[in-house]
Amino acid sequence: MAIGPADVKKLREQTGCGFMDCKQALQEANGDFEEAKDILRKKGIAVAAKRADRAASEGAVVAYIHGDGRIGVMLELNCETDFVARTDSFRETAKELAMQVAAAKPKWVSKEEVSEADLQRERNVLIEQAKTEGKPQNIAEKMVEGRMRKFYEEFCLLEQEYIRDESKKVKDIVDDLISQCGEKVVVRRFVRYALGEELPE
C-alpha cells in the first residue's frame, strides 16, 4: 500500500527514528502503526549497539519535584541528536528516571561509577557479617558476592527495580528507549535533594 509523507511524519514523531527507517517499517507493516513500531524497536537495538562508541552530547536536563516540595531531583539524559531529544518518548523517559531517583534514592548511575574504596568498604562489612553468622571464610566470600549484587540493585540506578514494574530493571527502560530511537542513550548524572537532609542537628 502507498505510504504518504504524513504517515511517515507521524511515526517519526512517535518514535524519533529516521525518515527512511519509518517509511520502510510502515511499508513492511502494510501501514499498521503498532506493527511498524515493533519493527523499528527490533532494528533499533542492533543499530544502537553499533553506535555504542558514538558521542551522546544532545539530550535534556529534567527536574522533578515530589511531596509538596520536600524532594527534588535533576537528571541529565543524553542522546545523539536534538531531534530525538525533543521527542515525547525521550522526555517522558527522562522524567520517569527522575521519579525513580526521587523514590528509590540511588547513589550512582551504574556499577562502573562505584569507587574501589566504596566497594572494598562494603565487602569488608559483608565479610564481617558473614563471619558473625558463623560462616567459614570460603563460604563467607561466596555469600558476599550474592550480597554485593543486592548492594548494586539498591544503590545503582540502572540496576534498580523499576518502580512502576518490578519485573523490569531501570536499564530495561533505557534499552526500550534505545530500541525506539535507534540512538545511543546515556544517563549522564543526577542529583537528589531531600528537605532537611544531612543538616546538622
Asked if residue 199 is part of any domain, the answer here is no
Instruction: Please check whether residues 81 and 161 belong to one and the same domain.
Output: yes
**Separation of first and last alpha carbons in the chain:** 70
Domain count, the chain: 3
Three-state secondary-structure class, residue 6: helix
| Count of CA atoms in the C-beta half-sphere (13 A) of 32 | 7
The confidence score (pLDDT) of residue 176 equals 87
Per-residue pLDDT, 54: 64
Residues contacting 201, CB < 8 A, separation 6+: none
pLDDT tens digits along 137-171: 777 777 787 888 899 999 999 999 999 998 899 99
Helix, coil or strand: residue 74: strand
Mean pLDDT of the chain: 85
- The boundaries of the domain holding residue 182 are 58-110+156-194
Question: What's the pLDDT score for residue 47?
Answer: 57
> Which CATH number fits the domain that encloses residue 23?
1.10.8.10
User: Are 148 and 179 part of one and the same domain?
Assistant: no
